[in-house]
Amino acid sequence: MNRYFKLLLPIMALSVILSGCSLPFLGASGDENSIKIGMQNTSESQIMGHIDKLMIEHEAKKDNVKENNIQLINNLGSSTVTFNAQNSGDVNISSARYTGTDLTGALGKDPITDPKKALKVVRDAFDKDYDQKWYGSYGFENTYAMMVTKETAKKYNLKKVSDMKKVANKLEAGVDSSWMKRPGDGYPAFKEKYGFDFKRTRPMQIGLVYDALNTGKMDVVLGYTTDGRIASYDLVVLEDDLNFFPPYDASPLVTKSLIKEKPYVDRAMNKLRGKISTEQMQKLNYEADNNLKEPAVVAEEFLKKHNYFDDEKDGEK
């Protein structure tokens, strides 16, 4: 299925999950110990989902297990949808979860600017309250960032977020749906910290904001620092000069029941710790978003290039 057609599905996934139903149309199985990897509707989440799948299959072979029934649950529309899907059993692996997002969103805690402290709080909470293992970071931080086109940056002389204050009443903004009402590091706190509001702010699926900016439907959007479309569309990332956004280190999240049933899943996730830098992730996203490679192809090429990290020491457990 074409990647851009897939972007039409998140609303379906959202309505089903929030109604408390399972995800039969996405292929979710009732077997709680089958491997079901949840991915959001971004190239990054999908690339990481395929990397997780291939790594698990690779590690399973070492235990003489042919793991050929891994399901990819695609296009979960937001971090809230992914959180609900994992807690309800529709997925048991999240391909990419972010410390800052779950810290203030799912866990309802105050933002923490220290990356190590944020990771510890999130890891401990999911271990104790949800019986899920939050692994060490893949190695990249995908933080939120305000961005504009080069034309808009030049027109209003925008280099940092504070520069928008003088023209905010002229700007229409597109932002991640889950960010709009999130306490701590969401839109309400952003307005208070920076002291301005936009002419209009529209909540959107994160995968759609870049096209909205590129086509002129929005003047400014809230995007992710590792997104390949920043380079594809030649966008300007505005400096977060007041250091508002907390760290968003990316990690896989796995239910401990799955780990107990399939130990090679744990090995696979541990081997990915610290293996992908922010710069590397942006390049992988660029391959998908600019060069139009399918996430599955990007993932396979990356792992083959690195020999599935067999020649490197496993990451911290």
b/e code 142-155 from CB counts within 10 Å (16+ = b):
bbbbbbbbeebbee
Percent of the chain past pLDDT 70, that is, above it, reads 88
Mean pLDDT within 208-224: 94
Report the Cα 71 to chain-centroid distance in Å.
18
- pLDDT tens figures, 122-163: 999 999 999 999 999 999 998 889 999 999 999 999 999 999
> Among 316, 288, 312, which Cα is nearest to 300's?
288
**Euclidean distance between the first and final Cα of the chain, in Å?**
36
Looking at residue 138, what is its pLDDT?
A: 98
Bridge-based pairing state of the strands 71-76 and 36-40: parallel
Phi then psi dihedrals of residue 286, to 5 deg: -65, -40
Mean pLDDT within 221-228: 91
Report the Cα 107 to chain-centroid distance in Å.
17
Mean pLDDT within 97-114: 89
> Among 185, 140, 110, which Cα is nearest to 284's?
140
Give the model's confidence band at 250: pLDDT under 50 very low, under 70 low, under 90 confident, else very high.
very high
Give the model's confidence band at 186: pLDDT under 50 very low, under 70 low, under 90 confident, else very high.
confident
Q: Tell me what the pLDDT averaged over the chain comes to.
A: 88
Looking at residue 247, what is its pLDDT?
A: 87
- pLDDT tens figures, 253-307: 999 999 999 999 999 999 999 999 998 999 999 999 889 999 999 999 999 999 9
Tokens of 223: 């995007």
Does the pLDDT at position 184 exceed 60? yes
Give the model's confidence band at 33: pLDDT under 50 very low, under 70 low, under 90 confident, else very high.
low
Percent of the chain past pLDDT 90, that is, above it, reads 69
